[in-house]
């Protein structure tokens, strides 16, 4: 739950924003999650410190603060913390907390503020460059044989304007950071530039003749501002995937009113309204088709490349594009309940998620600034006392302060996740567990559930075979009546095949996991299920065994119907159903084989039926007749057999144990909620070809995170000693520091070059 009131921030020259009014905070119940926008964070040390501060507030169970998305997620304990206490804690730590409304409103407001800040920062940067140019001019003119002498008092005025006017934001941020008990990157910038400005000002005011470092201080501030501007532009670009999703919903909708059709704002739609959608228009809300036939293009929402046929009764996702027909659609979901809002929410949560490696980065960030200050002082001491060169030591000490970059460390993982999850959403993939990205790299095998994952999951009745003395129509009627409460695909096939009179309601119903069900209809106790249930109940199926064998060899599923009574149980008949493979199943499995992976299929059907269904497919291992509870054990057995990590792909509630047991879990987005929540990766459409693409993309994101961390750590490991040794002037150090942060974000943006491999040749990702 979050506060519905939102107060736009107004930023000053120093980058601070007006805090929310006192009326914004309110009470939130225990167990809820509160999301706050956080303003004023500049590096990983900021987010790590604020996370500790919030975690110490009474009534907070856990707190996570993300630098890239600038938000805090706070899980409340029992009794819960008051929101006012959280706002005060954030302010005391030196930041500003902003209450947010629903996720979509929050993202829209954040984007508006980001655009404003970019305009503001461009103007500030231009002013800084204008003031710094005369200070740098003598140094630039010297190699050309020109001599430009700038009076000391003028240099002092220009440098002071940059240092305290434009650079005032660094002092404000540094003070807030220190007051909150930590130290961020701006502490280093403020210390380094203040030292350079202070030494130069003393020389000018005392009438001395020593070297001046005004240009170093001014240029460092200008370069840091340039780096922050480029970084902000790149971060806003990284968030473009969410903006693109939000922009899919049209601003207006045409609905039936009385005898006519009127156009209204999409925000004014209500449940039950009937939208009239013409060819080529976007659906303004989720709904159900009442009249008409057309196709819906959901490619930008779910990654589904083919337009889907839509007719009366079919579901529509808001934001999809209508095809060639005119449709009447009843609105069934709005706002935060819509599919589009759910996708936006899932992408935003994935972008704010924290892999385990980030915990190490956070710990390093908390000690980074004090360590750099100590190195800077040591550098000054060694040069001055040990080498007898205090001027060179001073320049080297300033360079150490300026060159160090905790920002690159803090941005390395979040920006790669931010860009990667956006690219993933464009391909119909939601990343729910960022640690799953690393597990995708070393997979040895991929296991598939058969029904609904490789097959359509919409079986149709293929045969109706009654036992001697049983009426076939009565057999189907009893089977349909008994399964009215079941969500199993075979139950839906039986109900769809029944075309008779209204069905009686069962007096009792009991699901028998992995075996079938037991129900009482019109006083008759029925048993409906597969071979295992018949064996368990010792029911003689001899009269229909030949028929059953023939059906199995055709790949059909069997549904036995028997009746229990005091004298035992007798067979009533057999229903067979056909569930065809999805069109892309063979290509999907071949794509995985091309990537060097073993392919396994797990199914509760008989071995003959599974083998017939999968005939001709590149499958290495088949496990049939498996109970749902045993699927997790099969994953462990498969892991041992292939000698490496195993991924599981499934769609149903029966897959949840196997998904949880797998090293990497992938759920088909049209499956059950339990399966979706159990999975690290979720495919928003049911096409198995996307499994290989999801693995390619997961590996690409993990590779980007590794590259960014390597660069961020490597940069600091090399740059700080180089600065301490005197190889970097303060100006060069400032440029290097700005480049470090920008390069991390820019490298993450390269993920947008990712293209899916549609040929199944294992070449999905471009070299990154």
State the CB neighbour count (10 A cutoff) for residue 320: 26
Strands 646-650 and 445-449, bridge-based pairing: parallel
Q: Check residue 97 and report its DSSP letter.
A: E
Helix, strand or coil, per DSSP, at residue 288: strand
Contact 359, 338 (CB under 8 A): no
C-alpha angle 8/10/16, rounded to 5°?
120
Omega before 79 within 30 of 0, i.e. cis = yes
Contact 655, 644 (CB under 8 A): no
Distance separating the N- and C-terminal Cα atoms of the chain:
39
Which residues lie below 8 Å from residue 148, measured CB to CB, with a gap of 6+? Answer: 137, 138, 141
CA distance 20 to 425: 33
Distances (CA, A) of 578 to 458, 459, 595, 651, 655: 9, 5, 31, 18, 21
CA distance 298 to 264: 23
Helix, strand or coil, per DSSP, at residue 589: helix
Q: Of 670, 687, 489, which is closest to residue 581 (Cα–Cα)?
A: 687
Helix, strand or coil, per DSSP, at residue 120: helix
712-721 contacts at long range (C-beta below 8 A, 24 or more positions apart) = 712/405, 712/408, 712/409, 712/411, 712/412, 712/740, 712/744, 713/409, 715/405, 715/408, 715/740, 716/404, 716/405, 716/408, 716/409, 719/403, 719/404, 719/405, 720/372, 720/375, 720/400, 720/403, 720/404
CA distance 431 to 669: 12
449 flagged as catalytic: yes
* 49 φψ region: left (φ > 0), alpha (ψ -120 to 50), beta (else): alpha
Contact 249, 275 (CB under 8 A): no
CA distance 766 to 704: 12
CA distance 95 to 52: 14
Helix 152-160 to helix 185-205 angle, to the nearest 10 degrees?
160
Contact 562, 542 (CB under 8 A): no
CA distance 668 to 682: 6
CA distance 249 to 266: 8
Candidates 286, 449, 651, 655; catalytic one: 449
**Residue 178 φ then ψ, to 5°:** -65, -40
Sheet with strand 568-578: strands edge to edge: 460-466, 568-578, 557-565, 524-529, 516-521, 508-512
Q: Of 507, 541, 346, 370, which is closest to residue 433 (Cα–Cα)?
A: 346
Pair of tokens at residue 469: 């003395």
CA distance 480 to 523: 15
Question: Helix H segments across 206-355?
Answer: 214-238, 240-246, 299-302, 339-352
Pair of tokens at residue 358: 């980030």
Question: H or E element: which one contains 667?
Answer: strand 664-668
Q: Is the dihedral of CA 602, 605, 606, 607 positive or negative?
A: negative
Of the CA atoms within 13 Å of residue 291, those in its CB half-sphere come to 6
Pair of tokens at residue 64: 């996570």
Residues marked active site are found at 449
């Amino acid at each position: 739950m979050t506060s519905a009131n939102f107060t736009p921030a107004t930023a000053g020259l120093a980058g601070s924003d007006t805090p929310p009014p006192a009326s914004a905070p309110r009470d939130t119940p225990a167990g809820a999650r509160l999301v706050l926008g956080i303003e004023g964070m500049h590096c990983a040390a900021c987010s790590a410190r604020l996370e500790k501060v919030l975690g110490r507030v009474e009534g907070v169970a856990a707190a996570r603060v993300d630098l890239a998305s600038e938000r805090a997620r706070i899980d409340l304990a029992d009794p819960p913390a008051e929101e006012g206490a959280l706002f005060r804690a954030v302010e005391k730590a030196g930041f500003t907390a902003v209450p947010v409304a629903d996720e979509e409103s929050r993202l829209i407001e954040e984007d508006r503020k980001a655009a404003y800040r970019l305009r503001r920062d461009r103007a500030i940067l231009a002013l800084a460059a204008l003031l710094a140019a005369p200070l740098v001019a003598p140094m630039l003119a010297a190699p050309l044989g020109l001599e430009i002498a700038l009076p000391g008092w003028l240099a002092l005025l220009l440098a002071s304007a940059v240092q305290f006017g434009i650079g005032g934001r660094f002092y404000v941020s540094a003070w807030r950071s220190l007051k909150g008990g930590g130290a961020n990157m701006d502490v280093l910038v403020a210390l380094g530039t203040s030292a350079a400005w202070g030494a130069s000002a003393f020389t000018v005011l005392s009438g001395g003749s020593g070297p001046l470092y005004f240009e170093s201080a001014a240029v460092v501030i200008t370069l840091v501002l340039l780096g922050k501007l480029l970084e902000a532009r790149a971060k806003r670009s990284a968030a473009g995937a969410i903006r693109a999703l939000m922009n899919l919903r049209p601003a207006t909708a045409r609905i039936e009113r009385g005898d006519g059709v009127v156009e209204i704002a999409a925000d004014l739609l209500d449940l039950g309204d009937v939208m009239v959608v013409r060819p080529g228009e976007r659906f303004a809300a989720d709904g159900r088709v009442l009249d008409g036939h057309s196709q819906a293009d959901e490619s930008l929402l779910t990654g589904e490349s083919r337009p889907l046929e839509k007719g009366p009764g079919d579901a529509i996702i808001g934001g999809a594009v209508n095809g060639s027909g005119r449709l009447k659609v009843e609105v069934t979901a709005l706002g935060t309940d819509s599919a589009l809002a759910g996708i936006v929410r899932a992408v935003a949560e994935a972008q704010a998620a924290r892999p385990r490696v980030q915990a190490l980065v956070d710990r390093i960030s908390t000690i980074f600034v004090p360590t750099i200050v100590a190195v800077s002082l040591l550098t000054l001491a060694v040069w001055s006392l040990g080498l007898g060169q205090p001027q060179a030591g001073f320049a080297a000490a300033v360079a150490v302060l300026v060159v160090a970059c905790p920002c690159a460390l803090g941005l390395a993982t979040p920006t790669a996740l931010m860009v990667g999850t956006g690219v993933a959403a464009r391909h119909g993939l939601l990343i729910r567990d960022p640690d799953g990205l690393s597990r995708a790299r070393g997979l040895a095998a991929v296991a598939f559930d058969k029904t609904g994952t490789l097959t359509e999951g919409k079986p149709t009745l293929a045969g109706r075979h009654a036992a001697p003395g049983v009426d076939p129509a009565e057999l189907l009627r009893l089977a349909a009546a008994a399964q009215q409460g079941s969500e199993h695909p075979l139950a839906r096939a039986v109900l769809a095949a029944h075309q008779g009179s209204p069905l009686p309601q069962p007096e009792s119903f009991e699901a028998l996991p992995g075996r079938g069900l037991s129900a009482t209809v019109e006083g008759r106790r029925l048993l409906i299920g597969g071979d295992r249930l018949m064996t368990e109940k010792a029911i003689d199926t001899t009269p229909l065994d030949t028929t059953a064998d023939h059906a199995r060899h055709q790949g059909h599923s069997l549904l036995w119907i028997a009746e229990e009574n005091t004298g035992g149980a007798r067979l009533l008949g057999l229903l067979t159903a056909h569930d065809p493979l999805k069109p892309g199943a063979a290509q999907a499995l071949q794509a995985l084989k091309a990537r060097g992976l073993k392919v396994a299929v797990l199914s509760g059907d008989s071995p003959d039926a599974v083998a017939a269904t999968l005939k001709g497919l590149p499958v290495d291992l088949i496990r049939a007749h498996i109970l749902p509870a045993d699927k997790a054990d099969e994953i462990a057995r498969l892991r041992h057999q292939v000698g490496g990590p195993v991924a599981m792909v499934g769609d149903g509630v029966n897959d949840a144990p196997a998904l949880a047991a797998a090293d990497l879990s992938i759920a088909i987005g049209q499956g059950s909620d339990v399966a979706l929540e159990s999975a690290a990766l979720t495919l928003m459409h049911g096409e198995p070809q996307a499994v290989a693409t999801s693995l390619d993309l997961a590996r690409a994101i993990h590779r980007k995170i590794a590259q960014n961390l390597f660069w961020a750590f490597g940069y600091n490991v090399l740059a700080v000693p180089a600065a301490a040794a005197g190889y970097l002037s303060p100006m060069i150090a400032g440029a290097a520091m700005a480049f470090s942060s920008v390069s991390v974000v820019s490298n993450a943006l390269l993920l947008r070059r990712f293209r899916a491999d549609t040929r199944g040749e294992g070449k999905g990702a471009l070299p990154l």
